[in-house]
Structure 1
Amino acid sequence: MRRAEQVNQLREGVVGVLAPATDPPQDRLLTGLVKLDENAIVAKLVADDDAFDDERLPIDAAAVGGSTEAGDILLVDLRTRGDGPGQLRVAKYTAHGVLVEVDLTLVDADHVAAVQFAYHGLHNWLPERIYKDDPLIEDGKLVGWSAELRYAKGITVPLDDGFTLRFSTGWNVGGEFDRRTFATPLNVTVESKERRSIREHIGRLDAVHALLNIAHRERVQAFGGSARLTEDSDWCAFWETTFMSKDGTHDVAHFFPYFGLDEIGGITAVARWIDIARGHRRAVTPVVRHVLEPSQTPEARLLSTAAAMESWIAAHRRSQAWAKKVENEDLPGAIIRTVDPSWNDWIGDSDEWLRQFWASYNHVKHRPEDDLDPNLVNALEIAGRWLLTAAVLDKCAGNMEPSRHLFGTSLGVVGGNVRGVLGTSLR
């Protein structure tokens, strides 16, 4: 049975016999129903009086596994255990991830050796081109077309704590013999030397997923994934409800990203991004959240972006000269000093933007009852967000190439819109 069909079965709901992963393993499985919806995977286990207790159905279970109509599965990244409705004794486990066609004999709680997310449409992030097609010309005439897909290992970089990041180009051949289709998605994999909780792998993939969303104009979602329980075991299908989509979001072709892998310094810079995103959450999270949740008000975004700047500068104040306080300079001025000078042309009047940005931030923070022009607040915040983003990416790259690319090339339309609003509002 194909992986996609098994995942679709889970969306319809499947019956099976399951049990939480415990140590030692339980010798009795319980009848249950598993269903995958848009936001979670829910397993409802029907328990008898003897089994419904916190030992056999623990509240803090790391995983729930068993055999179902869709094959052997393992629910991971569990969030809650509640009771089901009605008179039946039902334990309801809610999870965000599920492994399909998993070897249950290898299960050790939620520990895995590797997790992979797969993305369509991100050609600027592929580490190599493994698909080649060429016209066949004979006697000056087109007589056919040749196509070739060839596996490549991809590129890797070590992460912290024994983890490794891998970027590779996947491949897939589909369709009937007379309607072949070829796909070469971006595969982003986090591997570990020893089996670790799947949450530790996903936490690092989360940072890469956030970077991919910042890099593109449209929302980026994975179309699927895989996981491996041990270094030598087979890959099994993996579905995660937060990062993956079946509604067409993952099929968008992102032809014009703000930046690609080369513009930020390659996979080594991505590894540094993961460290920064995990180590400076207060500075990075607002930058990501504004992309993933664009419905926020301009005032709310301004408050969190300015607070993120404060956190970023405070984190470097003791170790970096640029972060030292300069008399009579508003705080974001320190960040301006770290990016490429093309910022000045991009923003138009850097000093005036700085004055207006910080004044508006303090106004919204201390006098929220007084309205400001939302168009002005929006323009000020967008510029500040890209300024902070560029500064973080420059730190990842170890040079100013990312900010030079952003303010000198890819953000031209954004800069024109910002300058248009600021020029009108500041007259």
Structure 2
Amino acid sequence: MVSKKDIAAVVVTTIVALAGFELFLEHVARIKPVPSGWGWAASPRRLLSKSTGDAEANQLGYRGQPIQYGKDDYVVVLVGDSQVEAASEPLDKMPERLLEAELASRMGRPVKVFSLAASGWGQDQQLQALDRYLKDWRADMVLAWATPGNDFWENTFADRSATVVAGPIKPTFLVKDDRLDGPYYAASFYYGGYAITQLMAEVYGKAKNKPVAQMISDAWKTRLPIRPRSTSPSCAQYPKADQQALLTSGDRYSLSDKYRMESLEDLAASKTHYAPYMLPQTEMDDYQRRLTGLLLAQIKDVSGQHGAKMKVFYITKKLPSHTIVCVGTDQGGWFTVDRNFDAVMSKIVPKEDLINIPVEGGKEVNVSDADRHLSTIGNQRAMTGLAAELTR
């Protein structure tokens, strides 16, 4: 008969062996944690910069000028995504520098503007970056540059990919009882909490041809109110438009006609640039709006706790564009869309905190036909308009 002492000895020996193996995996085999979030070093648009060195990053690792200011400077923090990062533009023509000059001219006092942004960010990473900034530096104003075509789905999922194939993992929040719950994956982590469980996950993933990031992404979806969405038979009446052709050779499509655009994004899960603009609306669309609204409200709360005012702004380009009324594929079905940014943003941000900046012009306001980010000209017009609104 096995005594309690023998059982205890086995248990203790097993625990010690597992602890030793865990230390071996972490410090000798160097099993790497799953990276969560990214800055300038891992920005998907970094290669567009003429100088991709880390010298372009501020103290927090985001593209922009060093965080240095005087006691009399009016300090503005610009949080956002690729629009703020402006990887294709010179450092001295980034939005932070253009806005800095415009505000200083209008306010008649020294101004400093610092960027907390990277390509592919939603308000989840922006909130985390702002928290880190405010631990060591001050701000008089926090400006959240919203991108309504991206933010809703980016905030909702644990990875940054609009397809069923998982992208990089990032800090993520849930909505529970109309409050933010999280962040989950706030920093790099071991799958399951330990290097041992991560090693097991990697072995399992290789056998199933499923990377760890994909397992995390798939599991996260089960926590969301994803519901079936009805297809729209009426979409069949519109001619198809290829997305790449629309960007690079749009002249072949009439500006007066309506089109249905083929999209390989994960439309069924609302993991798409067209969320939450797809019709008819589902519980998932409402969830994405509530989550994004709560994140922006939290950014305002954090700013206020440190004595800073906060505004949300977004850009509306006033140039001719093609009318897309449906997205989808012949295999997955077609869905009606109505990308009315004004209507959606006004539902999640209080009127007194929301600024819409129209940018007039033609193709010159974009980097290129294939890259619809703002060019230096576009950024200058946008920041001029923003400064005017802030100092009105």
What TM-score bracket applies, with the shorter chain setting the length? under 0.3
Which structure's relative contact order is higher, taking Cα pairs within 8 Å and 6+ residues apart?
Answer: 2
